[in-house]
Amino acid sequence: MSAPGGRRPGVPTGTYRFQVQRAFTFDDAAARVGYLDALGVSHAYLSPVLTATEGSTHGYDVVDHSRLSPDAGGREAFDRLSAALRERGLAAVADVVPNHMAVPTPASANRQLWSVMREGPHSPFAKWFDVDWSVPDRALLVPVLGGRIGQVLAAGELSLDTGGEEPLLRYYDHVFPVRPGTGHLPLPQLVDRQWYRLAHWRVADEELNYRRFFDVDTLAAIRVEDEEVFSASHALLLELLHGGQLDGLRIDHPDGLADPAGYLRRLRAATDRGDGGAWVVVEKILEGEETLGEDWACDGTTGYDALHVVAGLFLDPAGAAPLLAHYTTLTGDTADFEEVVDRAKREVVEHGLYAEVHRLVDLLVEICHADVDLRDHTRRGLHESVVELLVAMDRYRAYVVPGEPAPAESVEVLRAAAERARRHLPAERHDTLDVVVELALGRGIPDAAGDGAAAADKRAEFVVRFQQTCGPVMAKGVEDTAFYRWFRLSSLNEVGGDPARFGVAPEEFHAFGSRLARDWPATMTTLSTHDTKRSEDVRAQLSGLSERHEEWHAALARWREAAGAHREAELDARTEVLIWQTVVGTWGRGGPISPERLVAYLEKATREAKEHTTWTAQVEAYEHAVRRFAEGVLADADIMAQVGAFVAALAPSTRTAVLGQKLLQLLMPGVPDVYQGTELVDLSLVDPDNRRPVDYAERERRLAALDAGGTPADLDDEKLLVVSRALRLRRQHPGWFGRESTYGPVPTSTGNAVALARGDASGAHVVAVATRLPVALERNGGWGEHSIALPEGSWRCLLSGTRAHGTTGLAALLADLPVALLVRED
């Protein structure tokens, strides 16, 4: 079954991400369907639509898989949105959260968890969660108390409520079930007899006995590898898919699952409507040279890989060394980002994820004790080896499935990590490390029958749990710690990125595009998501520093000297560099970022860095110094005038990068996503800053003016013109951009222009041209006689109306805009 132009039914030509929540409901989304249609997308891309914790602004804290979000309007409002989309010939895709559920307050909002808390391992929902019931008290740890349990009991902060349908244990806003048969006991004994253990919140990092999402205690992992759990947690979403109200799914963090490839195979079979299964993309961070597994039954990733390749085109590699030298001189930081990563991962392993590591070591101790050949490997040796191996892993996991031969790439990944780990271990631990690696690869699992069953189960559990721990170490150690500690150029510190890598050559970009066209033509591409630490336009504005590094260093010296009155001794130079980069990156038409937004961002950034203050141990003197400096410089008119003048000088570079990266993302192979609001210049920071309300009325007004023939008035209009014309073209001609479409570079006589062609078997029909590195271009005399060799035919630019054919001068083609979107007229 195929669609016109070789497009599989349900595969979007372009998506638009809505953050659905109480402040922006399904009905609010329905009211914008006409705008989405005019913009040119084929699908509304919805954040998680199932019932989440009340008041959630993101939806990843699901509490009920059987109902659509009541905060967003519930099923009736969703049906109205579906009808509005269908009326316009559009459809929807939705975010799916298969890895975890919320541990809400009150806990009764999650009925599966409530049942487990009341009935323990005997609950019909016990298999939903990864709970280690082997702990001495056979109880689920619930780390919610503000003090130690003895102190809480002595203070009378716990009470038994028998006034309802069932007895309840209350602790302020928290409510817990009472195990049947224990309600008559004195309170201390009653508390001790539950299937859950109430504990001080600090106990979690050391003794938590359920698998969680990264280090978030309030997100308990679920076991979708179990058929019953998969069916129950996906039933409503599959109903919407088979009913035509959803066309596809975005899978959140599949690396947290026991078997990602197995999950995707099951999902494809469950979504198959006779068309090969729904369009599915996965949130997969690819590290280094890693590629998406060919055995993954999906259409590709959510586009972090495309984000970094496209953005890298607009960075000048010549700026890498000067920016690094200036940064390290100013801050005293190491020049080696890998040192920062290594230190951060060790801290995470030893502290935030101690409970997960402890569980791995317990498993290893049991496995080795049960095998006489391995019995002399000590707990301490196993612990040291596991720590070093986790720190040395350079990707989110190796894809090993218990009972199956480890893929060659997985073997290579783990053995390479072992070689790095070996350098940090004494020689007497090397044999122990080898044992850990072999067990992680699933080697030597005994026959799962008779006396070997228990040993096989333990070894299989280690294989899975080790991989499920690698991801949190990477995410919390790199993205949520190291990325907040090293700021040569903060725009490089982006989810799925590598701050040590600086710039992408056109040849690399084209090689990447060719691979996507060949292997993953329906993957998602993006520049901004709900998870990006800076929007695409903040990064674009900062990219100009790579070409103007000398001016940047001189300006920074002047601003730092002028800001002396606002600086307290507690403020470190590294955070100050982040503040200045953030002020420059977020400077918009109306001037600097608001103090409220900047302070909120810096609070998150400094706590994530975990060096001077943390989420769990705030240091008020330090945080006060950061607030005072940020607010002081924003209120200093002289300093802000200087910053404004500097940003104005960056404007040509900013314009080039904003428009160039957007056009290439929209026209390269894959399904482009536009994150809400980013069709205009959007200068947002990490969540929740990027979930602020979007002014759709302003966007509708601007689009209508452009459609009426108006000339773009500013960069906002220019970006909207690029987005709307590219998306409309993709929707009108899906065959030029789908699975059977063609891709290729278009020759230019200068590296300051990058161009690509899209089309079908009959030839190229679309050419996208983008300017890069405008400072170098100007320094070398501008376009001059430089040209582009267009494919055969006559061409017209949808953005400027310029016509061209054959070898065409870039000066004429790019006279009005730094980009061109050419369509063959004949």
Tell me the per-residue pLDDT of 787-801, one tens digit each, with 9 for 90 and over. 999 999 999 999 999
Q: What is the mean pLDDT of residues 685-690?
A: 96
| pLDDT confidence of residue 7 | 38
Which tens digits make up the pLDDT trace of 360-395? 999 999 999 999 999 999 999 999 999 999 999 999
Residue 530: which of 58, 99, 26, 33 has the closest Cα? 58
Give the integer Cα–Cα distance in Å for 20 and 32: 13
| pLDDT confidence of residue 451 | 53
| pLDDT confidence of residue 1 | 28
Give the integer Cα–Cα distance in Å for 549 and 555: 10
Positive or negative, the CA dihedral 462, 468, 474, 477 is negative
| pLDDT confidence of residue 447 | 61
Which residues partner with 753 through β-bridges? 771
Which tens digits make up the pLDDT trace of 40-52? 999 999 999 999 9
Give the integer Cα–Cα distance in Å for 617 and 631: 23
- Give percent of the chain above pLDDT 70: 98
Which tens digits make up the pLDDT trace of 417-448? 999 999 999 999 999 999 999 999 998 776 65
4 pLDDT exceeds 50?
A: no
Q: What is the mean pLDDT of residues 155-181?
A: 95
Spatial contact of 595 and 636, defined as CB atoms under 8 Å apart:
no
Of residues 297 and 445, more confidently modeled: 297
168 pLDDT exceeds 90?
A: yes
**In CATH, what class is 741-826?**
mainly beta
In CATH, what number does 4-99+224-302 get?
A: 3.20.20.80
110 pLDDT exceeds 80?
A: yes
Residue 260: which of 100, 401, 109 has the closest Cα? 401
Q: What is the mean pLDDT of residues 276-285?
A: 95
Q: What is the mean pLDDT of residues 498-515?
A: 97
Main-chain phi, psi angles of 815, to 5 degrees? -70, -35
By three-state DSSP, how is residue 387 classified?
helix
| pLDDT confidence of residue 164 | 87
**In CATH, what class is 107-221?**
alpha beta
8 pLDDT exceeds 70?
A: no
Which tens digits make up the pLDDT trace of 530-540? 999 999 999 99
208 pLDDT exceeds 90?
A: yes
Residues spanned by CATH 3.20.20.80 within the chain?
4-99+224-302
Say which DSSP state 498 is in. Answer: -
Query: Going by C-beta distance under 8 Å and a sequence separation of 6 or more, which residues neighbour residue 514?
Result: 743, 744
Q: Is there a cis peptide before residue 106, judged by omega within 30 degrees of 0? A: yes
pTM: 0.95
| pLDDT confidence of residue 6 | 36
Residues spanned by CATH 3.30.1590.10 within the chain?
107-221
| pLDDT confidence of residue 136 | 86
Which tens digits make up the pLDDT trace of 631-656? 999 999 999 999 999 999 999 999 99
Which tens digits make up the pLDDT trace of 12-67? 999 999 999 999 999 999 999 999 999 999 999 999 999 999 999 999 999 999 99
| pLDDT confidence of residue 449 | 56
| pLDDT confidence of residue 315 | 98
Query: Per-residue confidence at 274, pLDDT binned at 50, 70, 90?
Result: confident
Mean pLDDT (the chain, rounded): 95
696 pLDDT exceeds 80?
A: yes
| pLDDT confidence of residue 203 | 94
Q: How far is CA 130 from CA 22, 220, 344, 400, in A?
A: 31, 8, 27, 19
Q: What is the mean pLDDT of residues 71-98?
A: 98
Q: How far is CA 138 from CA 126, 191, 197, 346, in A?
A: 13, 13, 9, 30
Say if residue 720 is exposed, middle or buried (CB neighbours under 10 Å; 0-12, 13-18, 19+).
Answer: buried
Give the integer Cα–Cα distance in Å for 165 and 606: 46
| pLDDT confidence of residue 773 | 98
Going by their DSSP bridges, the two strands 62-68 and 158-161 should be labelled as unpaired
Spatial contact of 261 and 229, defined as CB atoms under 8 Å apart:
no
The one-letter amino acid at 283? E
Query: Per-residue confidence at 275, pLDDT binned at 50, 70, 90?
Result: confident
The one-letter amino acid at 28? D
Give the integer Cα–Cα distance in Å for 92 and 20: 13
Residues spanned by CATH 2.60.40.1180 within the chain?
741-826
185 pLDDT exceeds 90?
A: yes
| pLDDT confidence of residue 351 | 93
| pLDDT confidence of residue 438 | 96
Q: What is the mean pLDDT of residues 705-709?
A: 97
Q: What is the mean pLDDT of residues 90-111?
A: 97
Q: What is the mean pLDDT of residues 443-459?
A: 75
Give the integer Cα–Cα distance in Å for 656 and 541: 10
Indicate the range of 122-131, 286-295, 340-349, 421-430 predicted with least confidence.
286-295
Hey, how many other C-beta atoms are within 10 angstroms of the C-beta on 268?
A: 16
